[in-house]
Structure 1
Amino acid sequence: MTLLSIDWPVVGVKVGQLLLALSILVILHEFGHYITARWFKCRVEKFYLFFDPWFSLVKKKIGDTEYGIGWLPLGGYVKISGMIDESMDKETLKLPPKSYEFRSKPAWQRLIIMLGGVIMNVLVAFFIYAMVLWIWGDKKTKMSSVKDGIGILNSQIKDLGFENGDKIIAINGKPIVYFDELAEKILIGTENRVVDLERNGKAMQITIPVSFLNKVIENRKAARGFITPRVPAIVGKLFDDKDTAKGYKAGIRENDRLISIDGNPITFYDEIGTNVEKKKDKFVSIQLLRGKDTVNLNALVDCNGKVGVTMPDPDTAMALGAYKIDTTRYPFFAAFPAGVNKAIKSLTSYVDQFKMIFKPETGAYKGLGGFKGMTNGLSSTWDWEAFWMFTAFISMALAFMNLLPIPALDGGHVVFTLYEMITGRKPNEKFLEYAQIVGMVLLLGLMLYANGNDWFGWGKTISTDCPTK
């Protein structure tokens, strides 16, 4: 992919959303440490969004605390006097502890200070989910409303034996109630999964091997979508980008209904790909219905097997009866317990995905991503509902990650403090210093691996750019 082929406005929107979400979460996480430290009368020397090695972009000292914004957007921190942290301030630790220092406080107070950031992340996720449910409601697509079954947009799914029009009934004996949970159930799992489905009125079973995610990841650069409810072959919005511009140039317009391709009848959107994917770099004849008029045209199939059309938007698909999105509305106070429940479900999902990293046969470690991977979960347009859902999920993920027993993370400090509370012996400060260094090296290595995986990855290097014709 060349720099010129990148859709920079879309990249800008996604990066803007990511920076805003992370900034909000970092500030609130660090505020959790800050406020608990203040409660127990610890001096907080610094409160920073982003890191500030050598210099900071903005800083202002108020009382004993310097507030600022660093230039390295990899998180943030509060520097609490007398604490062994990422600042590695060893000189202060050589002096006798003072009453306002972290190390002079009882273990139970230090434990609460260490847990303050994680607790704040959890509370933030509860609150955001609650507000989303109150303002926009909980939107789900019942499987029973997907009347024409599934539409397959990914060749790996077809390789498993699935076909367009299949109606998924259950996975591992558990009924699939909502279409929204189908992709996760198919991809996530540390064991083989058996799918019960109905095809042309007949019951069937398909086994998804534990290695399936590995196959998807290895071919992720060639992947085109996943599974959708089957929808009519109506053309959605043609955006001003390199993909849909091809369709527009060929004469295709929004809301056109495709009737046939090279004489083969077309009813559903997924049949478009089926009829053009083997005709790369060739022209196909398309017949479509525009209002009451029948239009015939020729369109070039690009090197990726696409003619430059998008799916109809959900409102159009629902108006045509393809499926139905149910919205559950919550009054203000009822939204809070519902928000807690939704946060717990998102955490459970994240933990299930995390566990797969330690099962080499799943290949999940190959899909470990960094900032670029995170932007893939963001909308290409600024959608506040999607933004806040993303922010809430990341908040729960950060809470979980920070609790891992790794030195330099809150979880590492918690482990050492619990050890002290149980044994009555405080870990040696020199040991804590070395542990902090080891933890920081591990985290830096993990960050480099994840972000390197984003850009270079384990996947097959398949270009998505096509020659201009």
Structure 2
Amino acid sequence: MGLLAALIILAFFIVFHELGHFIVARMCGVKVEVFSLGFGKKLLVFEYKGTQYAISVIPLGGYVQLKGQQEAFTHSKQSAGLETNDKDSFLAKSPWQRIAILIAGSGFNFLLGFLLYLCVCIYGITSVPPIVGEVVDSMPAQEAGISRGDRILNINSVEIHTWEEFSKIVQDSEGMISLRVQSGNVYKDITLMPRLVESKNVFGELVWHNAIGVSATQQVQIVRYTGLQAIIKAWEKTIEASKLILQSLQKLISGALGVQHISSVVGITHIMSSLAQSDLVVFFALSALISINLGIFNLLPIPPLDGGHILLTLYETIVRKKPNERIANALMLAGLALLLGVMMIGVYNDINRIIAP
């Protein structure tokens, strides 16, 4: 059951991505020839307003086929002029309209990630409360009189609900910080100066950051957000997830992270199938992260991804001529080889992780 749920939501990510292309293409006046749920042989087909809607035999995602799209992306001299004169052709649209259509798929993945995070925020996030577990000797917190069991109510006049919120503000602070602390039935206003300490970040790298010398309690809580609070929190989590994914990509490219950290749909499906049976909130949070990851991945400037097509379209806009056919096709083949290579590494890593004792 968990595996089925994981496959369904992964397919939904792709369908939602294609829905973005579909809607913006229609808004730009481009004819959508086919919108298919699934791949391969079409099992059920009907036509509405010039678009063929289909359910296909392989239910792992879907695709849209735009008029003139194939000719635009094959960069063939023989086919490039076939449909440019038709007003409803992808080729006939301005570069900016084509870029908008290409970006829309990833835009919808970001939107889906935000909506999933919104559901998580409303349903309730399992988090650590802002209660002091331990106090480090000779650090600012101890010197200011903060004790084990104290609850941090606000920092720099910002109300906080979780230890994560508290820790982030301290790490990002510049200069003195002010705390409102509840110690039993006593409320204290404390001002102190954080110190730089060395620790490891999520990538295992040694970094310097601000700290006051406290650690979290072992307690957990459910924090629920409503109305505007939920929207703001979901947006913040969407931005945080995007930054984390971009940092991970940067570190993979620079070599700071090894290729053993690359994963594939095999590993993602394995994790999601386990979570679907145990923790629905964590399953939704992971789904949001994967959707955002799919959006960012598709914007990478690598043909044949959307980002690669955007890059070639920008080249055409700036230089005012189409890319050389031979060079464009070579870039497509090189990009495809790169993507297949990364996928094979990810599959190899995932299989090793799954079968490891």
- State whether TM-score is above 0.5: yes
Q: Which of 188, 192, 195 matches 2:206?
A: 192
Query: Residues 148 and 191 from structure 1, CA distance in 2 versus in 1: closer, same or farther, beyond 3 angstroms?
Result: closer
Match of 1:250 in 2: none
Equivalent residues of 2:35, 2:51 under 8 A apart: yes
Alpha-carbon distance, 1:137 to partner? 2.9
Please show how residues 55-454 of structure 1 align to structure 2 within 5 Å: 55-72=41-58, 75-84=61-70, 93=80, 95-97=82-84, 98-134=86-122, 136-142=123-129, 144=131, 146=133, 177-178=163-164, 186=200, 188-189=202-203, 191-193=205-207, 323-360=218-255, 362-363=257-258, 365-378=259-272, 379=275, 381=277, 383-429=279-325, 431-454=327-350
Q: Is 1:39 equivalent to 2:53 in the alignment?
A: no
5+ unaligned residues in a row in structure 2: which ranges? 137-161, 169-198
What is the TM-score of this pair, normalised by structure 2? 0.70
Match of 1:17 in 2: 5
What RMSD over aligned residues (CA atoms) do the two structures have, in Å?
Answer: 3.7
CA–CA distance in 2 between the matches of 1:451 and 1:131?
A: 31
Question: Which runs of structure 1 show a deviation greater than 6 angstroms over 4 or more consecutive aligned residues?
Answer: 179-182, 194-198
Alpha-carbon distance, 1:86 to partner? 11
Query: What is the aligned residue count?
Result: 296
Query: Residues 344 and 416 from structure 1, CA distance in 2 versus in 1: closer, same or farther, beyond 3 angstroms?
Result: same
Overall identity of the aligned pairs, in %: 28
Query: Residues 60 and 449 from structure 1, CA distance in 2 versus in 1: closer, same or farther, beyond 3 angstroms?
Result: farther
Structure 2 SS opposite 1:79: strand
Structure 2 SS opposite 1:406: coil
Alpha-carbon distance, 1:399 to partner? 1.2
Alpha-carbon distance, 1:436 to partner? 3.1
Query: Residues 368 and 73 from structure 1, CA distance in 2 versus in 1: closer, same or farther, beyond 3 angstroms?
Result: farther
CA–CA distance in 2 between the matches of 1:453 and 1:396?
A: 22
Structure 1 SS opposite 2:322: coil
CA–CA distance in 1 between the matches of 2:307 and 2:17?
A: 14
Query: Residues 100 and 86 from structure 1, CA distance in 2 versus in 1: closer, same or farther, beyond 3 angstroms?
Result: closer
Q: Is the radius of gyration larger for structure 1 or structure 2?
A: 1
Structure 2 SS opposite 1:333: helix
Equivalent residues of 1:119, 1:399 under 8 A apart: yes
